[in-house]
Amino acid sequence: MHERAGTPALPEDLIDVDALVGAYHDRSPDPDDPDQKVVFGTSGHRGSSLDTAFNEAHIVAITAAIVEYRRNQGTDGPLFLGRDTHALSEPAWQTALEVLAAAGVEVHIDARDGYTPTPAVSHAILLHNGAGTAEGVRTGGGPGTGLADGIVVTPSHNPPRDGGFKYNPPHGGPAGSDATGWIADRANELLRSGVHQVRRTGLEAALAAPTTHRHDFTSAYVDDLAHVLDLELIRASGVRIGADPLGGASVAYWAEIAERHGLDLTVVNPAVDPRWSFMTLDWDGKIRMDCSSPYAMAALVRAMEGDRAPYDLATGNDADADRHGIVTPDAGLMNPNHYLAVAISYLYGGARPDWSADAAIGKTLVSSALIDRVAHGLGRRLWEVPVGFKWFVPGLLDGSVGFGGEESAGASFLRTDGSVWTTDKDGILLALLAAEITARTGKSPSQLHSELVARHGESWYARVDAPASREQKAALAALRPEQVAATELAGDPITGRLVTAPGNDAPIGGLKVVTDQAWFAARPSGTEDVYKIYAESFRSPEHLAQVQAAAKELVSAALG
């Protein structure tokens, strides 16, 4: 823990924006250096221009690869292009548009020349493709002739020095590994052969191209919210909401939501600063727009303390608004797992009567087992999948999954009529759901969590990292259940050893061990020489520590 965690950023903590953008244009990556190649993680390619990991050449190559990929897939409709407020997002957005325009791709950019949250891009793709309508998913729709897809230029909650670039195919959600693997491989081929071969047009010409269209992402998203939330109830209740965009892409959206729907909603901090000078430092002393971190959210949490909290509910979003943070006067910042359990209990407990009785509850396998107990109490099917929101896409698209959520404060759910809303995480939606929950129940989400604990038991949850070599990480990802010889975990009989997810039998890239009172999951990091241990105990904090220690021993023994 950094000694200044949770305290305001100082001048020496801030990036030099000019140097960062200058490096974007001036530095050329070495395609044979693993740290400078194009690498797609669960949320696209990320890196910093200062490390020669996110530079103009990368974006030219990735965009050109996406042009080829979508052409090979027969995706001939418009591409919705959005960006967040990171300093590297605008130059990367410009580069992408120049490549797309030269390739003759129909591109839809923001009509207000503003920032576009990830869920607004997903929403636009789905509406164009006919999802979320009475007709269901159809081929084409909207002003184009075929299926749409999208690009969001964002590194999500990453520090200000980073850039990010992610692709959403026609299903509207995060691209799967088949797509990202092909795009990354092709982009790296282009880096080696020379990106100067990729056709580009100047920015001014790209903006004026007949294939470049203006799309009002904000109005389309904000106006449609009434089909997924009970905004009339929120307005009538007078719930006071404080929404902190944390300097991200949701800033204009929150202001318009308040005005359009007549909510008692205040944008806590409307400032946009690519240095994020108004932030408090995260646990490691870095500026990080992680709305699930009590350190990054420290200013909002402090404002909600005491008997004179200015709002009944406060919320935060990360830079591309695909994550949510919920702050209540009685409990401060809620643990993301706790809020997911409350949201599920509320939505499936009668608040959405038009959803299918067979609509499953989706969770990643490292999310709290409290969700399992809530699902069992509701008599609903639990659909447990590997880490990554992409796994929820098919279920949200066809309505077989009503809610999909992951432990890192990302979730989305269906419209009130049971059709798809977004197939990517929607932090704005989950923040507004907290207001609906408060309006309908008269209780804060944290109070409702206490009721769930009284019914299902209290748990203690944590994630820690342990060192691992590249060889050990590869071995961990390839583990088989029989390699775990132990029969007990922290004093309890082991009831399950999982290397595939129960919901879809997909490999989890690691190991999960389960008992009746605890579990742990171990997964290798994709970016560092560590593996991550997620663990939870329904006994005590001390028992959680025992589970974590036992997990390290079990994994070490299994790895040899």
Catalytic residues: 156
Give residue 180's identity as a one-letter amino acid code: T
What are the angstrom distances between the C-alpha of 28 and each of 16, 49, 51, 56, 285?
A: 19, 9, 10, 8, 29
Token pair in block for residue 178: 């088949």
Sign for the pseudo-dihedral over CA of 153, 156, 161, 167: negative
User: Three-class SS string for 119-177?
Assistant: HHHHHHHHHHCCCCCCCCCCCCCCCCCCCCEEEEECCCCCCCCEEEEEEECCCCCCCCH
Query: What's the distance, Cα to Cα, between the start and end of the chain in Å?
Result: 31
The arrangement of strands across the sheet holding 149-153 comes to 40-41, 44-48, 162-168, 149-153, 79-83, 107-110, 212-215
CA 342 to chain centre: 19
38 with 60: CB under 8 angstroms? no
Which residues, other chains included, contact 135 with Cβ-Cβ below 8 Å and sequence gap of 6+? none
User: Tokens 């269901």 appear where?
Assistant: 136
Measured between alpha carbons, how far is 335 from 325 in angstroms, rounded to an integer? 8
CA 6 to chain centre: 22
322 with 404: CB under 8 angstroms? no
User: Do you know the residue count of the chain?
Assistant: 560
What are the angstrom distances between the C-alpha of 169 and each of 80, 216, 540?
A: 10, 20, 44
User: Tokens 């499953």 appear where?
Assistant: 360
Token pair in block for residue 99: 């490549």
Helices (H), 16-76: 17-26, 56-72
